[in-house]
């Protein structure tokens, strides 16, 4: 039990003194995970919206596959990306292994299915409402995807938040492709893993508390954005 | 206006990508969790970076993984503690040459309750035989690391087939030293650890050293430059500079002066 | 070749105007759902000019017929032509369609109208001008910047009609537009539709309300059980319907 007290104490001290290592690690965690979510949005939103709009043979199979990919184990993704980026692998010459870029790539792969699956559902719901009206105005499939994505943008934020939650919380992928190198690729989760393996459980827990606070902060910020959008206008 | 802010935000997110290019004088060292967790690198690397201007990026994984990574060319220098495996690595052309750097020793640690009654022992093999006979819980790294290889060799020397008891009193965690120690303390199980990791470990519970001082528990660390003939991208000059420094008086001194609570963790023994 | 702004504007609207959709013609239209025949080999033509009311009891197939003519629904048998050619998406702006429940995009009232103009390929400056014009004609200019979804039901429907008319369609199709509205809003909508018709837009108006049909129709198409029971000029339909079903309906004793 005293570990919890020590944990809060450790977290408090780190935050109050703006411990430079902590600031660096938090900054990198945010940069990597937010970067991954943005990249995943660019890829996942059109896929989700496209799947919501299009009708083709095998669409059911595609949806099942997409939903299943949401459960991709981070450590497996990390391993696959490592094999691709390793010097012995196909993308070795890019020299991306053990860099934050590799971490963004790995987390992006984890997040795309979530963004695509959730946005598909959101867009499909909106499509049911808009479909006939847009068609009668003469909107084609591409225009429909664009309009649905834009009009659903505040609901789609939820998809992105879900993706961010997954990214910032995972350790399996980033520890393999990043190597948890001090000052280079150490993020919150890998730092927690390291402190745990050093037996410094209070510090590890303290970092965990800070990570939680971070996630809450990001979610609160996004909720704030939604509120200013004016809920009534988007009911 | 909104678009400009979005662009600036996106730009700051790209900065992790650019930072990497900026620090181009760095080497990647594949090393082990024991050297990482003991805090050795944090203690000695700044001196090297100051002297040479080269940043050292350490990837700390199990010895088996470190050697595999080095074989793939995902590092410039290999720094582990499994001499037979290291010599094999060099013989197969993965590395240029192997050099002794430092040593420490392994210890057995166990709970205060000491179910197998081995505390105060000075010999490893009889201790293991007693543990096996008593079926006292024993936690193993189980991850093909230097520590694990040593442990397996000791069981062999004891004439005991410990693998048969896996899942019973012999518990293979498949993890690094720290995680294994956490598990051992949590389970009340004996385990073998390198002294450095044990001394710096912060979750000892009521555990203490039960067996130490046996010459068979000697733990040698070696350093190898990854072979540029096999992996042309290896940073030969910088990697060699690091190896030279480790073996030099300055490096050896830095290793010797690293202490926790007044205890020296590693003993330099590079060949003169 | 650089055109002056006036010529450019005319050029774009002429380009769209050059491709008519009338007459809307349905031949042998049949729609079946769940074993029931909802439209039964219907032949119908919508010629330029009149305000035509399609009337009939609930479930007769009126809305379905309108949707098939607008190519929102594909018939199981039969086909639709626009100006004797196969319908195509490019000509959609020449056909305005208003649903029973208005669908408002999540943006302001004027943005809704601009959207329709954008889809129709109208250039930006002219879009803004025509959108403002459309709102003014509907008496909604004071709500231009309001989010469309906070407007009242009646205002939303007037906006939907303004949006449909903004692309200057040849024909305006309305599917029971006042079914959910109060008498005041209904009156406003009827006035809006009559004004559009007076300005030259052909109108097809689906309703089950006899009073409304009396107020608006030039001619009545009476639909019953998926077939067109009769098509009669309005002045004769209400006093001397030629079909038994229509007569029963007017007297309020028709079984659907």
For the residues B251-265, what does the mean pLDDT come to? 92
- Most C-contacting residue of A129, A137, A141, A142 (CB-CB within 10 A), to test interface: A137
pLDDT above 50 (res A68): yes
Q: Are C115 and C105 in contact (CB under 8 A)?
A: yes
Q: List the single residue in B61, B72, B178 with the smallest CB-CB distance to A199.
A: B178
Which chain C residues contact residue A234 at CB under 8 A? 106, 147, 149
Subunits close to A (at least 3 CB pairs below 8 A): B, C
**Of residues A100, A106, A179, the one with CA closest to residue B30:** A179
pLDDT tens digits, one per residue of C188-241: 999 999 999 999 999 999 998 999 999 999 999 999 999 999 999 999 999 999
Helix axes A20-53, B2-22, angle to 10 degrees: 120
Q: For residue C138, what are its two tokens?
A: 């509907």
Does the structure show a pLDDT above 60 at B6?
Answer: no
Inter-chain residue contact A133 with C116, CB threshold 8 Å: no
The mean per-residue pLDDT over the stretch B78-105 comes to 95
- Tell me which chain A residue has its CA closest to the CA of residue C114: A137
Contact assignment for A137 to C119 by CB distance below 8 Å: yes
Residues 107-166 of chain C whose Cβ lies under 8 A from any Cβ of chain A:
107, 115-116, 119-120, 147, 149-150
Work out the minimum CA distance from A56 to partner chain B, whole angstroms: 35
**Mean pLDDT, chain B, integer:** 89
Structure tokens at A99: 């860099």
Decide if pLDDT at C141 tops 60.
yes
What CATH number belongs to A2-228?
1.10.3720.10
**Residue to substitute from A133, A148, A235, interface C, most C β-carbons within 10 A:** A133
Of A130, A132, A143, the CB nearest to C72: A132
Residue of B74, B178, B201 lying closest to A87 (CB–CB): B74
CB contact under 8 A, A38 and B181: no
pLDDT band at B167 (very low <50, low <70, confident <90, very high): confident
Flag if A232 and C92 touch (Cβ within 8 Å). Answer: no
Residues of chain B with C-beta less than 8 angstroms from the C-beta of A38: 10, 13
Of A31, A95, A181, the CB nearest to B15: A31
Instruction: Kindly indicate the confidence band of residue B2, based on its pLDDT and cuts at 50, 70 and 90.
Output: low
pLDDT above 50 (res B22): no
Over residues B177-187, the pLDDT tens digits come to 888 999 999 99
- C89/A136 CB distance under 8 A: no
Q: Hey, are the CB atoms on B14 and A35 less than 8 Å from each other? A: yes
Q: Phi, psi at residue A51, to the nearest 5°?
A: -65, -30
**Percentage of residues in chain B with pLDDT exceeding 70?**
91
Q: Which residues of A touch C (CB under 8 A)?
A: 129-130, 132-133, 135-140, 143, 147, 151, 230, 232-235
Q: Chain A: residue nearest C147 by CA?
A: A233
Closest residue on chain A to B39 (Cα):
A198
- Checking if the pLDDT of B8 tops 60, the result is no
What integer is the mean pLDDT of C52-58? 93
- pLDDT band for B13, please (50, 70, 90 cuts): low
What per-residue confidence (pLDDT) applies to C126? 94
Both tokens of residue A179? 């190597």
Secondary structure in 3-state letters for chain A: CHHHHHHHHHHHHHHHCCCHHHHHHHHHHHHHHHHHHHHHHHHHHHHHHHHHHCCCCCHHHHHHHHHHHCCCCHHHHHHHHHHHHCCCCCCHHHCCCCCHHHHHHHHHHHHHHHHHHHHHHHHHHHHHHHHHHHHHHCCCHHHHHHHHHHHCHHHHHHHHHHHHHHHHHCCHHHHHHHCCCCCCCCCHHHHHHHHHHCCCHHHHHHHHHHHHHHHHHHHHHHHHHHHHCCHHHHC
Per the CB < 8 Å rule, is B178 touching A31? no
Residue B21 predicted with pLDDT over 70 = no
Instruction: Name the pLDDT band for B12 (thresholds 50, 70, 90).
Output: low
Distance in Å, alpha carbon of B190 to nearest chain A alpha carbon? 16
Distance from CA of A61 to the nearest CA of B (A): 35
Query: How many A/B residue pairs have CB atoms within 8 Å?
Result: 89
Let me know if chains C and A touch, i.e. at least 3 Cβ pairs under 8 angstroms: yes
Q: What is the pLDDT of residues A95-137, one digit of tens each?
A: 899 999 999 999 999 999 999 999 999 999 999 999 999 999 9
pLDDT digits (tens, 9 = 90+) for C68-100: 999 999 999 999 999 999 999 999 999 999 999
For residues C207 and C210, give the distance between their C-alpha atoms in angstroms, rounded to a whole number: 8
Q: Do A88 and B37 touch (CB under 8 A)?
A: no
Residue B18 above 50 pLDDT? no
Q: Do chains B and A touch (3 or more CB pairs under 8 A)?
A: yes
Which residues from chain A sit within 8 angstroms of residue C91, using beta carbons? 138
Nearest CA distance, C132 vs chain A (angstrom):
19
What is the chain A residue with the closest CA to C89? A138
What torsion do the CA atoms of C68, C74, C79, C80 make, to the nearest 10 degrees?
A: 40
Is the C-alpha dihedral spanning A86, B97, B53, A184 positive or negative? Answer: positive
| Residues in chain A within 8 Å Cβ distance of C122 | none
Give residue B125's pLDDT band: very low, low, confident or very high (50, 70, 90): very high
Answer yes or no: is pLDDT of C38 > 70.
Answer: yes
pLDDT score of A200: 85
- pLDDT at position A203, please? 87
Q: How far is A158 from chain C (nearest CA, A)?
A: 17
A88 in the Ramachandran plot: left (φ > 0), alpha (ψ -120 to 50) or beta? alpha
Q: What is the mean pLDDT of residues A134-160?
A: 91
Quick one: pLDDT band at residue A233, thresholds 50, 70, 90? low
pLDDT in tens, A16-36: 888 888 899 999 999 999 999
pLDDT at C47 > cutoff 70? yes
Give the total residue count for chain B: 272
Domains of chain B: 26-104+220-268 (3.40.190.10), 105-217 (3.40.190.10)
Residues of B within 8 A of A196 (CB-CB) are 178-179, 182
**CA distances (Å), B56 to each of A117, A181, B44, B247, C116, in order?**
42, 9, 11, 16, 61
Higher pLDDT, B258 or A202: B258
CA distance A13 to chain B (A): 19
Question: Is residue B62 pLDDT above 80, yes or no?
Answer: yes
Whether residues C106 and A139 touch (CB distance < 8 A) is answered with no
For A179, the closest of B37, B59, B72 (CB atoms) is B59
Closest CA to A36 of A104, A122, A96: A104
**Nearest-by-CA chain A residue for B71:** A88
Fold of C16-250: Rossmann fold (3.40.50)
- CB contacts of B181 in chain A (<8 Å) are 199
Per-residue pLDDT at B17? 45
Partners of C107 on chain A (C-beta within 8 Å) are: 151
Q: How far is the C-alpha of B225 from the C-alpha of B29, rounded, in Å? A: 9
- Chain A residues in contact with B74 by the CB 8 A cut-off are 86-88, 97-98
Residue C130 has pLDDT above 50, yes or no: yes
- The token duo for B142 is 């189980």
DSSP string, C28-54: EEEEEETTEEEEEEEEEEE-SS-EEEE
Find the helix or strand (DSSP H, E) in which B31 lies: strand B26-32
* B touches C, CB cut-off 8 Å, minimum 3 pairs: no
Taking contacts as CB-CB distances below 8 angstroms, the residues of chain B near A194 are 36-37
Q: Is B57 on the interface with A (CB under 8 A)?
A: yes
The mean of the pLDDT values for chain C is 91
Contact A199 B20 (CB under 8 A): no
The answer, yes or no, to whether residue B106 has pLDDT greater than 90, is: yes
What pLDDT, on a 0 to 100 scale, did the predictor assign at position A158?
84
pTM, two decimals, is 0.80
How would residue B20 be classed by pLDDT, with cut points 50, 70 and 90?
A: very low
Instruction: Parse chain C into domains and list their residue ranges.
Output: 16-250
């Amino acid at each position: 039990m005293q570990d919890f007290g020590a944990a809060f104490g450790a977290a408090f001290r780190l935050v109050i003194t703006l411990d430079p290592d902590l600031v660096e690690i938090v900054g990198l965690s945010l940069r990597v995970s937010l970067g991954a979510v943005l990249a995943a949005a660019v890829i996942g939103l059109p896929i989700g919206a496209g799947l919501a709009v299009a009708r083709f043979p095998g669409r059911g199979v595609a949806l099942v596959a997409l939903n299943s990919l949401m459960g991709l184990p981070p450590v497996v993704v990390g391993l696959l990306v490592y094999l691709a980026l390793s010097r012995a692998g196909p993308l070795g010459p890019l020299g991306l292994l053990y860099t934050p870029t590799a971490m963004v790539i790995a987390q992006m792969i984890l997040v795309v299915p979530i963004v695509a699956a959730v946005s598909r559902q959101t867009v499909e719901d909106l499509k049911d409402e808009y479909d006939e009206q847009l068609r009668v105005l003469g909107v084609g499939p591409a225009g429909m995807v664009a309009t649905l994505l834009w009009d659903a943008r505040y609901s789609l934020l939820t998809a992105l938040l879900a993706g961010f939650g997954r990214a910032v919380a995972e350790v399996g992928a980033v520890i393999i492709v990043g190597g948890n190198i001090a000052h280079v690729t150490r993020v919150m989760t890998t730092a927690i893993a390291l402190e745990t393996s050093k037996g410094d459980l209070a510090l590890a827990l303290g970092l965990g508390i800070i990570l939680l606070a971070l996630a809450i902060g990001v979610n609160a910020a996004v909720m704030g954005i939604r509120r200013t959008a004016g809920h009534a206008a988007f009911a | 206006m909104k678009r400009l802010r979005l662009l600036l935000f996106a730009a700051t997110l790209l900065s992790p990508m650019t930072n990497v290019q900026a620090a181009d004088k760095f080497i990647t060292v594949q090393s082990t969790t024991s050297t990482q967790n003991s805090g050795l690198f944090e203690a000695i690397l700044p001196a090297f970076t100051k002297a040479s201007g080269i940043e050292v990026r350490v990837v700390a994984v199990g010895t088996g993984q470190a050697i595999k990574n080095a074989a793939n060319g995902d590092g410039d220098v290999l720094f582990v503690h499994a001499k037979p495996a290291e010599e094999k690595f060099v013989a197969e052309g993965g590395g240029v040459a192997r050099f002794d750097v430092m040593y420490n020793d392994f210890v057995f640690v166990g709970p205060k309750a000491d179910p197998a009654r081995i505390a105060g022992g000075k010999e490893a093999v009889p201790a293991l035989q007693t543990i096996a006979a008593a079926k006292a819980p024993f936690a193993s790294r189980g991850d093909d690391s230097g520590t694990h290889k040593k442990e397996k060799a000791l069981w062999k020397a004891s004439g005991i087939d410990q693998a048969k008891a896996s899942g019973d009193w012999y518990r293979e965690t498949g993890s690094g030293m720290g995680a294994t120690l956490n598990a051992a303390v949590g389970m009340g199980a004996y385990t073998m650890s390198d002294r450095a990791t044990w001394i710096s470990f912060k979750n000892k519970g009521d555990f203490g050293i039960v067996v130490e001082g046996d010459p068979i528990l000697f733990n040698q660390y070696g350093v190898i430059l990854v072979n540029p003939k096999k992996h042309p991208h290896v940073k030969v000059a910088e990697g060699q500079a690091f190896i030279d420094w480790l073996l030099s008086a300055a490096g050896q001194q830095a290793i010797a002066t690293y202490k926790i609570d007044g205890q020296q963790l590693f003993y330099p023994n590079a060949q003169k | 070749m650089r055109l002056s702004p006036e010529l450019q504007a005319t050029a774009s609207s002429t380009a769209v105007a050059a491709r008519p959709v009338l007459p809307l013609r349905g031949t042998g239209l049949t729609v079946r759902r769940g074993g029931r025949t909802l439209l039964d080999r219907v032949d119908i033509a919508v010629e330029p000019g009149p305000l035509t009311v399609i009337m009939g009891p609930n479930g007769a197939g009126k809305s379905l017929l309108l949707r098939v003519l607008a190519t929102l629904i594909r018939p199981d048998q039969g086909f639709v032509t626009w100006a004797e050619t196969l319908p195509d998406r490019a000509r959609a702006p020449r056909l305005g369609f208003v649903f029973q429940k208005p669908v408002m995009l999540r943006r302001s009232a004027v943005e809704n109208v601009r959207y329709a103009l954008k889809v129709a390929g109208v250039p930006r400056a002219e879009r803004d001008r025509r959108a403002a014009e459309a709102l003014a004609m509907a008496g909604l200019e004071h709500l231009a910047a309001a989010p469309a979804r906070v407007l009242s039901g009646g205002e939303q429907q007037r906006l939907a009609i303004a949006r449909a008319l903004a692309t200057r369609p040849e024909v305006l199709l309305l599917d029971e537009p006042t079914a959910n509205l109060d008498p005041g809003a209904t009156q406003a909508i009827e006035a809006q539709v009559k004004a559009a018709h007076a300005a030259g837009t052909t109108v097809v108006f689906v309703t089950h309300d006899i009073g409304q049909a009396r107020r608006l129709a030039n001619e009545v198409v009476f639909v019953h059980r998926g077939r067109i029971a009769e098509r009669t000029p309005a002045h004769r339909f209400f006093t001397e319907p030629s079909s038994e079903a229509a007569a029963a309906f007017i007297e309020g004793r028709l079984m659907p």
